[in-house]
């Protein structure tokens, strides 16, 4: 097959799998970061693997929703049966992540759905331990994460984090 014919065939395959495909057209992780609940619902309806990990940090769609504070999406994923206790590359679960970023509503959804509170990440912290250290001690960690994820639109409210960490700790007791 000639190079030109291979190129035409490749373009035809790309078009047939994206433009004319019946399934979701937006990557699930991208849809979550963008807050595109309709695309997430398309993935759920299409029975996309809701527990597949992204390649960089090993986050599942639910962990990504927790990180970026996408409450409606997190709830949809939980309701659709996403595994609540899968760990990413640093050992964090959705509950550890939601707790650390003080996503109060998501933490409550996860607790109500039966998320395991005893799982520890690779530094030995459970969800409650992730919010027990003094805010000033963990602020540099928040800043580093925010700087790393800033190109994806990630932004933290430090006053909210400082105020909410004790509330999350109480929720987890």
130 is a domain residue? yes
The pLDDT-based confidence of 3 (bands split at 50, 70, 90) is: very low
3 is a domain residue? no
What are the pLDDT digits (tens) for 93-141? Answer: 999 999 999 999 999 999 999 999 999 999 999 999 999 999 999 999 9
pLDDT value for 135:
97
41 is a domain residue? yes
pTM of this structure: 0.86
1 is a domain residue? no
Separation between Cα atoms, residue 98 and residue 134, nearest integer Å: 18
Report the CATH number at residue 102. Answer: 1.25.40.20
Question: What is the total count of domains within the chain?
Answer: 1
77 is a domain residue? yes
Q: Is the pLDDT of residue 4 over 60?
A: no
21 is a domain residue? no
Q: Is the pLDDT of residue 68 over 70?
A: yes
pLDDT value for 51:
98
139 is a domain residue? yes
Q: Is the pLDDT of residue 156 over 90?
A: yes
- State the residue range of the domain holding 72: 27-172
17 is a domain residue? no
């Amino acid at each position: 097959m000639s190079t030109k014919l291979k190129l035409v065939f490749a373009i035809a395959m790309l078009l047939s799998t994206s433009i004319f495909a019946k399934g979701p057209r937006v990557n699930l992780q991208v849809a979550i970061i963008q807050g595109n609940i309709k695309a997430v619902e398309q993935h759920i309806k299409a029975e996309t693997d809701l527990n597949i990990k992204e390649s960089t940090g090993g986050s599942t769609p639910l962990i990504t929703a927790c990180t970026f504070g996408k409450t409606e999406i997190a709830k949809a994923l939980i309701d659709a049966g996403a595994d609540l206790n899968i760990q990413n590359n640093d050992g964090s679960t959705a509950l550890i992540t939601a707790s650390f970023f003080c996503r109060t509503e998501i933490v409550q959804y996860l607790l109500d759905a039966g998320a395991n509170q005893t799982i520890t990440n690779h530094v030995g912290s459970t969800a409650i331990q992730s919010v027990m250290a003094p805010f000033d001690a963990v602020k540099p960690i928040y800043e580093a994460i925010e700087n790393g994820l800033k190109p994806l639109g990630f932004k933290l409210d430090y006053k909210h984090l400082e105020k909410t960490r004790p509330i999350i700790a109480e929720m987890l007791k």
